[in-house]
Amino acid sequence: MANITLNIEKKGQWEHISYTGPINEDTEVHLMPVVSQLGPNVIFNFRKVEYVNSCGVRAWINFLREAEKGRKVIFEECTPEIVGQINMIPNFKSTAHIRSVYASYACESCDSQKWVLFEEGRNLPESSDSSIETPACEKCNKAMEMEELEDEFFAWLDAAG
Ligand SMILES: [Zn+2]
């Protein structure tokens, strides 16, 4: 059985939930018991989510539907895969506010890859057609390319409230 762990930490008015492991058929068992213990402000961190499968998507939507009742929910450090889910399935995000996302970049000359964090108030673009600074490869200094199409990757920005 895959290993899922939740780390819940209260910082001021916010509960920070850090999820480690896959979002899959075992997700609901881990997340649902937590809902009733949550305060009104929740930050969900996706940095350590390994992958998402279709059972996981359903479990996640069920969890979020309960979790967002009377609560403010913020997503942070969404992985490229989570952003893909958010773009495909509006209920994956529902009323949550997205504070930061990772985009995956690759260098065509040396095959280096890295994730770049886009954070609200720092470098997160305003909409999907805003221009984005291209990071330079740390090995060969060439411009790197985002692995997704920029306007598709940031499509959720246009729907965000
Ligand atoms: Zn390179």
Q: What is the pLDDT of residues 32-78, one digit of tens each?
A: 999 999 999 999 999 999 999 999 999 999 999 999 999 999 999 99
Q: What is the pLDDT of residues 77-86, one digit of tens each?
A: 999 999 999 9
Note the pTM of the prediction, 2 decimals: 0.94
Distance CA 100, CA 125 (A): 11
CA 109 – ligand 1 centroid, Å: 5
CA 104 – ligand 1 centroid, Å: 14
CA 144 – ligand 1 centroid, Å: 7
Task: Decide: 104 and 113 in contact? Cβ < 8 Å.
Answer: yes
CA 102 – ligand 1 centroid, Å: 19
DSSP readout, 98-147? E-EEEEEEE-TTT--EEEEEEETTTT--SSTTS--PPPBPTTT-PBPEES
- Structural domain harbouring 131: 5-159
Q: What is the pLDDT of residue 2?
A: 58
Q: What is the pLDDT of residues 111-129, one digit of tens each?
A: 999 999 999 999 999 999 8
CA 8 – ligand 1 centroid, Å: 38
Q: For residue 27, what pLDDT band results from cuts at 50, 70 and 90?
A: very high
The count of structural domains within the chain is: 1
CATH of residue 94's domain is: 3.30.750.24
CA 146 – ligand 1 centroid, Å: 13
Distance CA 147, CA 54 (A): 22
Query: How large is the average pLDDT for residues 12-36?
Result: 95
